[in-house]
Structure formats: structure tokens, C-alpha cells
Amino acid sequence: MSIFLFVIIALAVWRFTHLFAKEDGPFNIIYLIRKKAGAGFFGSLLDCFYCVSVWVALPFGLWQGNNWCEKLLYWGALSGAACLLEQATTNKNKDDIPHYKED
């Protein structure tokens, strides 16, 4: 796999993961899926960006790998790339950081 293709697939994994975990989707389709999932296992799974990225990256990793070792490596790498992209694009509120002031 070329680096260009990896970056494109990583962006796609991030986009789909963000759609499933953080957005309502077109015509509120994702919202309705999340509502049907409820507060159980699948509902909590859809609330966690990092959990969703693992499962979104799975088919892409299986598609790109030539053998099982590569498939597992691509799966983890694509999920990790999506998590890094999420960290890079998330607006962190500086008020959440505790301030320490010495007397």
C-alpha cells in the first residue's frame, strides 16, 4: 500500500468514525440508530469515538492487507490514525486544565 492510499483510507476511517460517533447524519439516520441501540452495549459503543474507530477500521484493514499479519497491522494502524486525527481536530477547552498556583 502506498503512503498516499494509506492517508486517504485513514481520512475515510476518521470521517466515518466521526459520523457514527459524533454526528446525527443526514435525515437524523445515525441519531435514530444510536437511539435504537439504547443505553446497552451497542449504545455505549456508539458513544465512544475510539471504540467506533476500531470497528470502522476493521473492513478497511481486511481489504488492504495481503496476509493476516498485514491485515491486523493495517487494522490497528488505521484505527490509530483516526484516533490521532480526532485528537488533532478536537477543540480542547483550556478551562478543563487545573491551574496550580504556588503561594
Share of the chain above pLDDT 90, in %: 44
The model's pTM is 0.78
Cβ-in-10-Å burial (0-12, 13-18, 19+) of 47 comes to: middle
- How confident is the model at residue 27, as a pLDDT? 87
> The C-alpha cell of 77 is what?
494502524
Kindly tell me if the per-residue pLDDT of 98 is higher than 80.
no
Instruction: Show me where the domains of the chain are located.
Output: 3-89
Beta strands in 11-88 (DSSP E): none
Q: Cα–Cα distance between 6 and 62 in angstroms, integer?
A: 13
pLDDT tens per residue across span 25-66: 888 888 888 888 777 777 777 778 898 999 999 999 999 989
Res. 92: pLDDT tops 70: yes
